[in-house]
Amino acid sequence: PRRMQHVMSNSPHELTKQRRSSLILSQNRLKSNLVSNKQDEVRKNSVNIQMLSQSLYEQVFKTKPDSEHNVISADDIISHLSKFELWGKETTINDDVDVKLPRLQGKDISEHFYKIGFEQTEEFMSRAGDFIAQAIPEKPQKWNFKPGWTRYNKDGSMSLVPHPDEEIMVFDVEVLVPEGNFPTMATALTPNHWYSWCSERLVSERYRWVKDTSLSDLIPLETANNQTVPPSGEWKSRLVIGHNVGYDRSFVKEQYFIKGPKTRFLDTMSLHIAVSGFTSLQRILKAGIAKESQRKEVKAAELRNKSIKDAQWLLEGSMNNLSDVYALHCKEGALDKETRNIFVTGNMKDIRDNFQMLMNYCASDTHATYKVFKGLWPDFRERFPHPVTLAGMLEMGSAYLPLNYSWQKYTTESEATYVDLQRQLRLMLMKIADDACLMIEDEQYKEDVWMWDADWSVKRAKMKIKPKLSAKRQREELKKLEEAGDSEEERVKRVLETASRLPKNISHKPNFPIWYADLCPRLKDDDWSPGPTKISTQTRITPKLLQLTWEGFPLHYDDDLGWGYLVPAPPLGEYGTPEDHQEQEFNVLIDESDAGPKFPIEALKAMCDSLMPEKESFPPAGPDPRLLLNEDIHMDDVNKCMRIYWQNKKKPKKDKIKKTDANLSVPTYHKGIGPYTQVIPGVHFFKLPHKDGDNNNVGNPLAKDFLAKLEDGTLSTVAGGEAFRALELSKMCSYWRNSRKRILSQMTIWMKESELSSNIVKSRDYDVNGMYGAIVPRIVTAGTVTRRAVEPTWLTASNAYTDRVGSELKAAVQAPPGYHFVGADVDSQELWIAAIMGDSYFARQHGSTAFGWMTLQGNKTEGTDLHSKTAAMMGISRDQAKVVNYARIYGAGRLFAQRLLRRLNHQLTEDEVRGKVNFMFNSTKGRIKFKYDDKEKEFYKREKSWEGGSESHMFNKLEMIAESDQPATPVLGCRISRTLEPSAVDTDFMTSRVNWVVQSSAVDYLHLMLVSMRWLFQQFNIDGRFCISIHDEVRYLVKSEDRYRAALALQITNLWTRSMFAHSLGMSDLPQSVAFFSAVDIDKCLRKEVHQDCKTPSNPHGLEQGYGLPSGEALDIYKILKLTNSSLTKSRQPNKSDLKAKCAGLKTQDRVLEAKDHDLEINDDEFDTKSGDFETKDGGTEPNKGDEETRNDNIVDLNQDISEIFEELESQVR
């Protein structure tokens, strides 16, 4: 019954009536918490948290939800909060905010959003409905080979038109990839006509030298050639539908105008992903089944569920490419995709020669997209009933990034710096190699624990042997010599003549050790340069030259096991069994018969002794460490068996596999992947950990995956100085190395003065000599099952780091003259969403759960915020605690936390680790409690719930939603992908599903904001547009004079959005602390924080000096209200000097705020790294630019949702 109650409470209209009285706390108790008079004036709720001011409260919550409060009594709340030492703590009080809000549309906030969302999508929805209901025109038999648009009339005739003049269309662009970012042909299908478009370049056979795409190369959808306004002078609203339409949109001319077009783009791929997309884990599994893959995820799933091939979810979804989506939603055969290859590998002539066929192919795609849309649209409408969802997706699809000269400067500087650093790196490695060469003297290398097994043999220069002459010839020669005389000239000549005896292939670097010679190019190579110039961080020998260590042990490469490190075996007899002795002695015997180089064991031992000051604490005092290990061995057994199984399976021929044996004398002072005892006798080999699991071999310890290890010192070098610098250089280059291709291939359109908006040209700051342009990012508006937008470059853009070349990427996007970016980060968005769900579940009262209270009122100085509490609990830093907290909330389990803690703190024993993690989990998530239903014993139908922790209520609520028959977000009622519905997956993919609740609600949050902002901009004539949203931040591009009003609009939007959440969860009030953004950033570029100077190796002078870009403004609600006179309406005579004075006055406050911001912001750096990890994941298989279909799948791979990372991590630990 309780469960029912909450399912129903999802909708504010269906709230069950409950007793109200119990929750109203006695006034006396409240009074006892009052501290000052100021507190008397503000509204507070029963747990002493400041609520909205009376005025705002009345404006937002006009009508209370038709409900009364929960059954939880006040005493229960108090006892819960007291348990976590939160009850009675002082709460922060802010000044009340009083502002006259625009009147809500409808009777309450919920209706308001429904109405404005409806308003923004009404036209499109009805057009879309009509489009799929009516018959479509026949596809033309023959296509017109003329530049520009051709319309195919009903009577079979064709007419050239400037652009299709219709309200709705399906649209598909084809691009000849080798030519660069130029659209080649396109087709459009509307309710009335077919259209085709050919590029000038295709039809006229001129070769174009210009590499840059200009506006005139793009496809016009609304304006005539060389025009920047539509023929009628008025922009019309249109809907363009396409599969991955963000890609097609980037080839549409008008989309590069900062202002004007009302065309919206609807992506069938996003519709598909929302309705029936796979999670990335599911995609791996699906691909695995197809290929009988051996990937560990597939195997793990098979272990759990033998019949994965028959899983229902496989039938409910498909991959994201058009062909598969078509097959799923249209139940028809696959599309022909072979033809596409011409666009990928062909040239213009190929296109011309196959014009009819290719245009037909393009039209077939358009047609298929139409059919997909027809199939998907009703499903989408049913599963995403709230108009805000569609409106939000359309808005996301209108992203726009303005550029100026800074972009060019950024790309050039980054590339130049990168090349320079690569050179420095190579130089440094070369020096280290030179230095190592010196060890050849006296064979010193034999005592070097790294270089001992390099090939130190040398080749001598070879000459052909003097031809043996017969005695007669010899005599003749001698005679000749005598005749010629023994002049200096002759003698020298004879020496020079030995050249004839040079062999055809002169030996390479004679007298150099082979390993060194291998690094030197051959003299005949074109790019020959002296020295070992072929050395790089990729070469096999480099880690050894750098004298790398892992936790102090030297690295070693094994042909079968990849990179690992060497640990001295424990002294015989100390821990080992007699059998071990035999084995080891046996090994030594083998070694003696082996002619290969011998490992300098003594040197290693000496090194370990000197390097490990903490050695004395190993083995640690206390219980025999082996006892602890044994416990673990049990846990890891499966893993190890799997490993052996895999090794045997992979290399069935090799039976000399260096197997690991858990019972063998494990060095007690070291724990790792291994040991493998037969790699080198007397020494244990441990593998370096691979991110894809222990079964994988590490190919290069200098790869990006190990950067973090380098940073925390796990991976290090004893060579010091230069070697360390080399690692640093490699690290500095890493970001640009991984991103340069993507960034440099961004399609940038530079505009002529005549093509620019008058807003820009008329601006005071306009520079006639400047460069102005834009990027239209190719966003997939709902790219994951959580409906998060996906795009590989911008939505994963990292923040600027001082030691990463090119990481100032975002700051290179700069507002044109006359415009400002106005934007904000939603403060701790996901924590708050999770918290409010818990609060609503528990007592329908903000801050009633300990987790909720900490999120709303937690205070760093008092140690009452979530991160501080966890940090104290686990004995880690607050930043590290953030990782732990997010991980837990995203669904990571105890094993993950243990692993993390072990990594963060080497000093802890296994017992301590487990103890701390258990304590942390018990006090946060709580303990699970099963309720068995006696009547249905045979099914073991159970009802589980979490109890006793600060987050138990939250998890109960999330799991309740995730496990309901039709999981849907509580705010906008968005259903989960069909592939994750309980009917399709039963109890599988729980982490993904629980996480989906929060993530998908966060997307609801974003969509609500986008819709509200659009509405406010329209209502109050604010001249601006959506720019981009990255994670939980939104940015608008606003005409400078409107920027403060836009900032106020953003604040109001936040208030409304949060209120909408509260309202939808049955709470008719909102805490003041979350009502407004702590700061709205008004800035000229995109950056994390307005005062950030984004200094990086490629931007050594920072933004201010290097780019002439001053700090932006960060304004809180109070300042914004002052600057706007608390009004969204444009003041008739903006008094600029007055404004300036106000700004000046605020400057000092600014600094205070800045400090405050720092505390408030949720530092997502950890997650940036994570998204970075994905980059590498697919870094090797950089999606082919033109290969649209594969790319679509790849894009999504780049951005798994966070839950899946943890799922993956966890599955490894399991």
Q: Contact positions toward another protein, by CB under 8 A?
A: 405, 408-409, 412-413, 416, 420, 423-424, 427, 431, 434-441, 444, 448, 451, 460-461, 463, 488, 491-492, 495-496, 498-499, 501-502, 506, 509-512, 516, 523, 528-531, 719-722, 725, 761-763, 766, 768-769, 1100-1101, 1105-1106
Which H or E run contains 482? helix 471-484
Task: Rank residues 720 and 1134 by Cβ distance to another protein and give the closer one.
Answer: 720
Q: Is 128 exposed, middle or buried (0-12, 13-18, 19+ CB in 10 A)?
A: buried
Tell me which amino acid residue 135 is: A
User: Are the C-beta atoms of 950 and 855 separated by less than 8 Å?
Assistant: no
Name the minimum Å distance from CB 1090 to another protein: 21
Alpha-carbon dihedral sign for residues 737, 738, 741, 744: negative
Pairing of strands 1033-1039, 1024-1030: antiparallel
212 in active site: no
- Residue closer to another protein by CB (options 495, 1144) is 495
Shortest approach of another protein to residue 498 CB, angstroms? 4
Q: CB nearer to another protein: give 466 or 653.
A: 466
Cβ 229 to another protein, closest distance in Å?
19
Residue 233 makes CB contacts below 8 A (sequence gap 6+) with: none
Identify which of residues 431 and 894 has a Cβ nearer to another protein in the complex: 431
Please measure the distance between the N-terminal and C-terminal CA atoms of the chain and give it in whole angstroms.
35
C-alpha–C-alpha distance, residues 1008 and 392, integer Å: 7
- The gap from C-alpha 299 to its chain's centroid, in whole angstroms, comes to 26
CA distance 702 to 282: 31
The DSSP string of 45-78 is -TTS-BB--HHHHHHH-SS--S----S--HHHHH
What the block records as the tokens of 922 is: 């018990």
Closer residue to another protein, CB minimum distance, 492 or 627: 492
Q: Between residues 40 and 767, which has the closer beta carbon with respect to another protein?
A: 767
Q: Between 411 and 1051, whose beta carbon lies closer to another protein?
A: 411
> Would you state the torsion angle of the CA atoms of residues 865, 871, 873, 874, taken in this order, to the nearest 10 degrees?
160
CB of 448 to another protein, least distance (A): 7
How many angstroms separate the CA atoms of 1146 and 1119, rounded? 8
Q: Which is nearer to another protein, 768 or 1155 (CB)?
A: 768
Q: What's the Cα-to-Cα distance from 1034 to each of 215, 609, 1013, rounded to whole Å?
A: 27, 55, 10
- C-alpha distance from residue 919 to each of 155, 850, 916, 929 (Å): 78, 16, 5, 17
Residue 608 C-beta: closest distance to another protein, Å = 19
- d(CA 1190, CA 1194) in angstroms, rounded, equals 6
Instruction: Let me know: does 360 contact 191? Beta carbons within 8 Å.
Output: no
Neighbours of 166 (CB within 10 A): 20
- Nearer Cβ to another protein, position 803 or 963? 803
- 619 preceded by cis ω (within 30°)? yes
The answer for residues whose C-beta is within 8 angstroms of residue 616's C-beta and 6 or more apart is none
Nearer to another protein, 393 or 432 (CB): 432
Q: Least Å distance between CB 487 and another protein?
A: 10
- 186 vs 751, which CB is nearer to another protein? 751
Tokens 């629980």 correspond to: 994
SS3 content of the chain, % helix, strand, coil (to 5): 50, 10, 40
Distance in angstroms (rounded) separating the CA atoms of residues 533 and 542: 12
CA dist 496 to 431, 467, 483, 501, 510, Å? 34, 17, 19, 10, 20
Using CA atoms, how far apart are residues 298 and 294, in angstroms rounded to an integer?
7
HSE toward the beta carbon, residue 708, CA cutoff 13 A: 13
Q: In angstroms, what is the minimal distance from the CB of 457 to another protein?
A: 14
Cβ proximity to another protein, 696 vs 1111, nearer residue: 1111
Tokens representing 120 are 């923004």
Which is closer to another protein, CB of 531 or CB of 682? 531
The backbone torsions φ and ψ at residue 551, rounded to the nearest 5 degrees and listed phi first, read 50, 35
Count other Cβ atoms within 10 Å, centred on residue 910: 16
Which long-range contacts link 1162-1165 to residues 24+ away (Cβ below 8 Å)?
Answer: 1162/827, 1162/828, 1162/829, 1162/831, 1162/882, 1163/879, 1163/882, 1164/1031, 1165/799
Would you call 451 helix, strand, or coil by DSSP? helix
How far apart, in whole angstroms, are the C-alpha atoms of residue 887 and residue 908? 21
108, 172, 825, 1069: which one is catalytic? 172
- 174: which residues sit within 8 A by CB, 6+ positions away? 183, 184, 185, 186, 343, 358, 361, 362
The conformation of residue 980, written as its DSSP 8-state character, comes to G
| 338/361 Cα distance (integer angstroms) | 10
Catalytic (active-site) positions: 172
